[in-house]
Amino acid sequence: MRTTFFGLETARRALMAQQLGLETTAHNIANANTPGYSRQVVQLQSTTPFSPPSLLRPQIPGQIGTGVGVGAIQRMRNAFVDTQVRQETSSLGRWETQRDLLMQVELIYNEPSESGIRNSLDAFWQSLQDLSLNPESGSARTVVLQRGQALADLLNHTYTQLKDLQSSVNDTIEVQVGEVNTYAKKIASLNRQIVEASSMGDNPNDLMDQRDLLITELSKIVDVNVHTDKYNAATVTIGGIPLVEWDQVRELKVDSDADGKYQLEWAKTGNPVEFHNGSLKGLLVMRDEQIDGHIAMITNFSNTLVTEFNTQHSNGFDLEGNKGKDFFEKIDSDNNPLFRVRIGLTEKEIAASAGGAPGNGQNASKLADALNVTSYGIGGGTQTTLRDYLSSNIAKLGVETQHALRMTDNQKALVGHLENRQETVAGVSLDEEMVNMIKFQHAYNAAARILTGFDEMYDTIINRMGLVGR
């Protein structure tokens, strides 16, 4: 049978449950602006009624409730939306990286502008046209030398800037691999704490929030898949291979190839890392495809210009009737396109004449045609002029940049939508928490009043009964 103080325990449980509800509400309000925090909800449930069914149960009209208990403090998350956020964040990281770097490449070319390569090429062409009309003019010959050197300087500068950008991207790859390893170690440490707490029957909500935030930040660098087991331990994989498994980490490393480019490998096995999204993927695409392609374009353009222009220049004659020599020369013997107007070349040595007569400017006209009219299979490609080759590649860059901008905007909109969906579940609403605070406060006050009522009853039993006849 139940004891005399049965109701006192029921009231006590009510007080404790409502107090925990208030404390949880206070925790939610305190973390309303904490990044990655998920609101927590107290799961109230009635305790086991008295008495349990059995042959020896007391003869009472029915089961009597024993009060309330807290089944769990649950954090509100939508696992499906979380997975989508991570996937789309990886894609956003890739396109943001490609957008930013493509815009830097556009700034290096600075096209269209008065200081761009096309304008410099046109100015050099115009100087040759003027020379063909005035082959004996000293000023016209000086302009040809100056504009030829200006074009060489601009192409050299563009090539050097592209190589510097590629080197910077290469260094950034190494930095981001270090960041991936750092995130992995932090996630593994949280895994250990979460499993320890979960094995004791607790819900380590705040620790899981911290871990989810780290995984989301990691997903912006490299696309990951996440699986959580019954102990709340998260296994994080890249390309199907675990990066984090319980509290163990398989680190990544970089290894330089023959060109000095960093390649991603698993530190323990040396196998390549397979992934398709994230800022790391964007860096690799830009380094190995986009920037490399533009370096090859400048190299092909410069080498073709030097070779074909020198060939045509050697077919002409200078002011003194001498056979023309090379107009341009390579700066060094390294495998690069850096060049300049040949040192020691004077105005008189410009081979403007086709037949040796001082007033003949036919070869100057052919030199001009070599820039804008004559077609070459530049870089082993289809026949095209130097100007069209340059223009088509710059136009292609513009299209690729616009595509990256559109993809970035689309991904931002999609990630924003998913984060809003996530916020409807996990976000803290101060209005809702204020309602909960009032609800738990009134319930606590009511439970306290019940406890007072029982106290008055027990005071009658203990202090006032049995006094008759004394």
Q: What is the per-residue pLDDT across 99-155, written as a single tens digit (0 to 9) for each?
A: 999 999 999 999 888 889 999 999 999 999 999 999 999 999 999 999 999 999 999
- pLDDT mean over 358-366: 89
Tell which of 371, 387, 412 closes a domain. 412
Task: Give the pLDDT of residue 56.
Answer: 62
**Distance from C-alpha of 352 to C-alpha of 364, rounded to nearest angstrom:** 4
Task: Give the pLDDT of residue 66.
Answer: 84
My answer on whether 121 and 235 are in the same domain is yes
- pLDDT mean over 292-311: 94
**Distance from C-alpha of 180 to C-alpha of 223, rounded to nearest angstrom:** 11
pTM: 0.88
**Distance from C-alpha of 328 to C-alpha of 336, rounded to nearest angstrom:** 14
- pLDDT mean over 336-343: 92
Tokens encoding 206: 């705040």
Checking if the pLDDT of 245 tops 90, the result is: yes
Q: Which residue has the higher pLDDT, 48 or 203?
A: 203
Instruction: For CA atoms 94, 95, 100, 103, give the dihedral sign.
Output: positive
- pLDDT mean over 415-434: 95
422 located within any domain: no
Task: Give the pLDDT of residue 53.
Answer: 62
264 located within any domain: yes
152 located within any domain: yes
420 located within any domain: no
DSSP letters spanning 417-462: HHHHHHHHHHS--HHHHHHHHHHHHHHHHHHHHHHHHHHHHHHIII
- The answer to whether residues 227 and 234 touch, using CB atoms and an 8 Å cutoff, is yes
My answer on whether 114 and 11 are in the same domain is no
Task: Give the pLDDT of residue 9.
Answer: 87
When divided into structural domains, the chain yields a total of 2
My answer on whether 156 and 297 are in the same domain is yes
- Per the prediction, the chain carries an average pLDDT of 91
Question: Is-cis flag, bond preceding 127, omega within 30?
Answer: no
- pLDDT mean over 292-314: 94
C-alpha to C-alpha distances, 305 to 54, 340, 347, nearest whole angstrom: 100, 11, 20
Task: Give the pLDDT of residue 52.
Answer: 63
My answer on whether 305 and 441 are in the same domain is no
My answer on whether 40 and 131 are in the same domain is no
419 located within any domain: no
Q: What is the per-residue pLDDT across 393-406, written as a single tens digit (0 to 9) for each?
A: 999 999 999 999 99
Q: What is the per-residue pLDDT across 37-71, written as a single tens digit (0 to 9) for each?
A: 999 999 999 888 777 666 566 666 667 778 898 98
**Distance from C-alpha of 290 to C-alpha of 267, rounded to nearest angstrom:** 28
My answer on whether 257 and 237 are in the same domain is yes
Parallel, antiparallel or unpaired: strands 241-245 and 248-249: antiparallel
My answer on whether 72 and 95 are in the same domain is no
My answer on whether 174 and 110 are in the same domain is yes
Checking if the pLDDT of 247 tops 70, the result is: yes
My answer on whether 90 and 21 are in the same domain is no
- The answer to whether residues 237 and 243 touch, using CB atoms and an 8 Å cutoff, is yes
Task: Give the pLDDT of residue 219.
Answer: 96
Domain span at 17: 6-76+427-464
421 located within any domain: no
418 located within any domain: no
My answer on whether 189 and 144 are in the same domain is yes
Task: Give the pLDDT of residue 466.
Answer: 67
Proportion of the chain above pLDDT 90, given as a percent: 77
Q: pLDDT band for 357, please (50, 70, 90 cuts).
A: confident
Checking if the pLDDT of 197 tops 70, the result is: yes
470 located within any domain: no
My answer on whether 71 and 196 are in the same domain is no
My answer on whether 276 and 328 are in the same domain is yes
Q: What is the per-residue pLDDT across 377-387, written as a single tens digit (0 to 9) for each?
A: 888 888 899 99
